[in-house]
């Protein structure tokens, strides 16, 4: 039996719906302690995090991941019970199989193998594990990073186990992510009867020109690493539900996924300018979910590419597409960050699953990365 699959099953059988860790980090910490790691639990409000480290010398190569999973939805729709960790036809089925208990199992087993082969390896290996990645992400990785920075403890290189692969294992490695900025806009009007529009002020009518301009705006051209910044309106709400009432307010939520060619304050300023050009009375607030980051080719990228090619015989494509990850909290410290994990085809879906062979190969790739960086 595969050590990777056995550990993945043990983690997947724990119902760790965010932010509940359900004992997963204890299982991992016990394994790491046996190969010389010092484990430091960090609990913030409702979230358990664990910082584990072996040695104190640079470079510090960190594996980062999360034990929490998203809710299952209607469990009767699953082919196999979502927390049974069922192995069937070469696949491991269950919530967290791909996102990302499978990656955590591969990281732990890879590290155990590496340390047994190289007990006196150079540098340090660390694990940063949270149970807050799928939730509000305020008491997880970001709080651990704050704690490490306060005591001048540095991560030099980091592999995040998010499911980066698309069509086959390790065909894509994320070497950066776009920034994310969300706007909450209320356009103010005056409620009234639809038959007496002169006594009201319809904010929907007022805002159409602004919304057209917002959608037509070109925010930047992108660059060699990032596509052009995109804006998407995600929610619009107005009215009371009655067909004869002019709404008093229009609420609009929109999100930017932005490149390194523009900053969050610049985007905010340009939105305000558009609002002013269209002479709208408004209220506006923002939530900044993360800065963009990029890891350019160098020691970490080389080690990752070589380990993938050695194990699988092909080169991974470097991409910055997709959503955000906890890498956005780690990269601003100066760490080089990549995301490398299994295929993302079934993440957050009913019947989430992962190839058992892929998890075994992923562990060998992780081990190969350590070989190249710390021997």
Could you list the residues known to form a binding site for Zn(2+), using ranges: 66, 99, 134, 162, 348
Under 8 Å CB-to-CB from 267, ≥6 apart: which residues?
181, 219, 229, 256, 258
What is d(CA 238, CA 241) in angstroms, rounded to the nearest whole number? 8
Distance, in Å, from the CA atom of 104 to the CA atom of 99, rounded to the nearest integer, reads 9
The verdict on whether omega for the bond into residue 100 sits within 30 degrees of 0, i.e. cis, is yes
| CA atoms within 13 Å, Cβ hemisphere of 194 | 11
Half-sphere exposure (CA, 13 Å, Cβ side) for 222?
Answer: 12
Nearest to 63 by CA among 342, 308, 347, 326: 326
Which candidate in 133, 326, 339, 358 is catalytic? 133
- The answer to whether the CB of 28 falls within 8 A of the CB of 104 is yes
Could you confirm whether 261 is annotated as catalytic? no
Residues 233 and 185: their CA atoms lie apart, in Å, by 11
Which residue positions form the known binding site?
Answer: 66, 99, 134, 162, 348
What positions carry a catalytic annotation? 68, 133
């Amino acid at each position: 039996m595969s050590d990777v699959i056995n550990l993945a099953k043990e983690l997947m059988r724990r119902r760790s719906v965010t932010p509940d860790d359900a004992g997963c980090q204890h299982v991992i910490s016990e394994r790491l302690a046996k190969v010389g790691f010092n484990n430091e639990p960090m609990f913030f409000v409702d979230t358990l995090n664990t910082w584990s480290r072996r040695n104190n010398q640079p470079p510090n190569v960190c594996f980062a991941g999360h034990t929490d999973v998203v809710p299952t939805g209607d469990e009767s729709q699953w082919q196999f019970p979502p927390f049974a960790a069922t192995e069937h036809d070469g696949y491991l089925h269950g919530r967290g199989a791909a996102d990302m208990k499978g990656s955590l199992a591969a990281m732990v087993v890879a590290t155990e193998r590496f340390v047994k082969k190289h007990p006196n390896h150079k540098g340090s290996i660390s694990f940063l594990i949270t149970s807050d990645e799928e939730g509000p992400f305020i008491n997880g990785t970001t709080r651990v990073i704050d704690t490490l920075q306060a005591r001048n403890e540095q991560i030099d290189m980091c592999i995040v186990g998010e499911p980066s692969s698309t069509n086959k294992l390790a065909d894509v490695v994320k070497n950066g992510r776009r920034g994310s900025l969300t706007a909450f806009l209320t356009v103010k009007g005056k409620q009234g009867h639809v038959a007496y529009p002169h006594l009201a002020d319809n904010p929907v009518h007022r805002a159409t020109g602004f919304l057209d301009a917002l959608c037509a705006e070109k925010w930047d051209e992108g660059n060699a690493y990032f596509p052009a910044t995109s804006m998407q309106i995600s929610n619009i709400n107005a009215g009371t539900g009655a067909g004869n009432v002019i709404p008093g307010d229009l609420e609009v939520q929109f999100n930017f996924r932005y490149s390194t060619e523009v900053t969050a304050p610049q985007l905010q300023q340009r939105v305000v300018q558009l609002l002013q050009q269209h002479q709208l009375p408004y209220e506006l607030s923002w939530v900044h979910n993360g800065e963009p980051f990029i890891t350019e080719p160098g020691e970490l990228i080389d080690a990752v590419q070589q380990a993938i090619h050695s194990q699988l015989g092909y080169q991974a494509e470097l991409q910055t597409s997709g959503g955000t990850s906890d890498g956005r909290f780690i990269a601003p410290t100066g760490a080089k960050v990549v995301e490398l994990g299994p295929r993302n085809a079934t993440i957050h879906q009913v019947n989430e699953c992962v190839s058992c062979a892929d998890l075994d190969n992923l562990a060998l790739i992780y081990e190969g990365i350590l070989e190249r960086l710390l021997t």
